[in-house]
A and B are shown apart, each in its own frame.
Chain A
Amino acid sequence: MKKYLLIGLFILIGTNLTALGGVAYNRMGEATAQLTLTERELSLPYNNRAEKENSGISLSINWRTSSRPTTTSSSSNHFSSQDLKITESELNDLGFDAFDVERNSWVESRELYWALEFDGDLYLAELKKAELNYQTAVASYEEQPSDINSRDIRNSKKRLQRERISNSRLFFLEAAGNYDTLADKFSQQQNIIIVKGLAKPYYNKIQNNYHLRLKYLSVRNIMVPLEYTEVLSSLTSNYYIDIIPPRYAVDIKWGSRLEPWIVDAKELIK
């Protein structure tokens, strides 16, 4: 029994020391990125039946891709598809085999490095698209007043409001097979974070082109430590249709292992 006890303790204590050592290593030295994100980018968990018994609070990271250029206000056209067109050489650079992707519809996901831009050019472009969309809808209504055009104005106005007030400003910018490529490229930009995420390629036989489907971030949620939960504990999660200004802001750092942690949280409105 002594032998079992010693091996058991070695496994338990050794594993915990390794895990906690990894956490310390991640947080040691200078952070790879630091941002202040708001409720727009970090949403509270939905208070469903399963979550009711979970007293911990973790915030999920809302990232998006640029919507495709459009002039109509149909909501489906504004949907962030998380699906990118990609060239054969870009696909090979990411570590996939383009020949294999074209021939085989079953290609596994890979963990890649993603650069995400916060409140930058991609967000401004999205805001401009929404404004243009609204102006087009107004012009169409003035030219030809009808119920459909009136509805288009309402929809595009909501879209513009949502873009200004509640939509996430964290945009997918670029993926790479290694960290250094992105770190070198974006080292001067303070609003860029590099994280790990999953992506799966596929080949569109009709359009004869390659696509990369961005699946999810490797670390999708950020745990809120007890000292910062006071700001969030009385709040309930918003639904997409609610257009309300963010109620909290959270300072987050990303360490050497690209794992985030919260360093501060504050309420934005009373």
Chain B
Amino acid sequence: MEEKQFSQADAQCRVDQIHAFQQEMAELENDGVLAISPEQTTKVRSYHTQLLQRLSSTYDVDISIQSKQFTLGMKIASLFGALAMAISIFFLFYQFWGYISTQIQVAILITAPVSLLFLSLHLAQKEKSAYFSKIAALVSLSCFVLNLSMLGQIFNITPSPNAFAVWAGFAILLAYACNARLLLFFGILSICSFIAMKIGTWSGMYWLSFGERPENFFIPSLLIFILPQLVNHQRFSGFEVIYRVMAMIMLFLPILILSNWGKISYLSWSADSIEGFYQLIGFLLSVSAIWLGIKRHWGELTHTGNVFFILFLYTKFFDWWWDWMPKYIFFFVLGLSALLALMIFKRIRLSNLSNVSKGDAS
């Protein structure tokens, strides 16, 4: 019962931990630092063997390096297969839909995502690693996207942003049912686009022009960032990471655009003031993201914060110096700034290490 509360990633982490322990024990015995009795060694070994077998049978985790490499290959093949199948469905329908009546077109468009939903849920229940269920789920989502977009074409329906809300709902449902991060990515993208479209239409713009006001993405990015704090994702490997990275991208990318192109902002200040304001906000928030990532051990937050801090810094350098500075000096300054960053990170790392060793000593 205990294992079922883990996600597959947690189970894999435990397997890696066991291997690391076994290797370190062998090193300690070789160096004569530690010697445990043969009975204890046998007891630990048999416990680990049983645990590995149990984890392998329950979670389909890799208990050797070879199987880990195969798994990576299978993940790549499954991603590629799912995307290719989804695209193939679109072209298949386009190729033949002109030869069938409207009633049959509608029947095919409705039954395709429904039957693939059944298939993906059946496979998710049957399979341990869920490769095929993930493929079926992605094809089901693409059939649903095709379903609504083709109904729109067949009946000449005025395009509406509401389609994004239902696509998001279906993608997120399949993501949780099949533990599929790619589907969660599509779901988050769709729901954020929908919210941004709705905010845009409330201000009077046409919904498809939602991208013309990047500030529309601030509210969805905040919601997406908060969500994993409210819902427990222990059983879903990597979902919290996807939520946080997507939230960061949807926050920083609009800020980056607005810091260079102030006239598309909702703010009624001069373009220069808006750009200056967003540059400042960009630096502050990216530093805050790095700090929060380090504090909470959210590596993805630190990395995303780092990437955007560098982007904010270098676009500013480009703004200030590209036109008037000789190129060799410009790139020399970039190199110097990278060295400066390296020195700062080194000092932070050293102070961090000394804190850890002080903690160990006490």
Contacts and interface: CB of A to CB of B under 8 A. Distances in A.
Tell me whether A and B are bound partners. yes
Interface of A: 1, 4-5, 7-9, 11-13, 15-16, 19-20, 22-23, 26, 53-58, 95, 104-106, 108-111, 196, 198, 218-219, 221-223, 225-227, 229, 257-261
B170 A8 contact: yes
Interface in B261-280: 263-264
Contacts of A4: 121, 173-174, 176-177
Q: 6 closest pairs, A vs B, by CB?
A: A55-B98, A108-B205, A4-B177, A56-B98, A23-B155, A108-B209
B113 interface: yes
B94 A54 contact: yes
Interface string B65-99: 00000000000000000000000000100111111
Given A12-B170, A53-B91, A106-B264, A260 B206 contact: no
Contacts of A219: 156-158
Contacts of B173: 4, 7-8, 11
A258 B159 CA distance: 12
Interface stretch (B100-108, B238-246, B314-322, B353-361): B100-108
Interface of B: 91, 94-102, 106, 109-110, 113-114, 117-118, 121, 124-125, 144, 147-148, 151-159, 166, 169-170, 173-174, 176-177, 200, 204-206, 209, 212-213, 263-264
Contact of B98 (A15, A54, A218): A54
A69 to B, nearest CB: 32
Contacts of A1: 121, 124-125, 177
B95 A55 contact: yes
Interface centre among A12, A111, A229 (most CB of B within 10 A): A12
B151 A110 contact: no
Nearest to A55: B98
A9 B148 contact: no
* Chain A contact surface mostly: mixed
Contact of A11 (B100, B125, B153, B170): B170
Nearest to B205: A108
A196 B158 contact: yes
A23 B105 CA distance: 15
Given A4-B173, A108-B213, A56 B157 contact: no
A22 B206 CA distance: 20
A59 B335 CA distance: 57
Contacts of A258: 158
Given A5-B117, A12-B110, A106 B212 contact: yes
B209 A58 contact: no
A109 B204 CA distance: 9
A258 B209 CA distance: 21
Contacts of B118: 5
A137 to B, nearest CB: 42
B117 A12 contact: yes
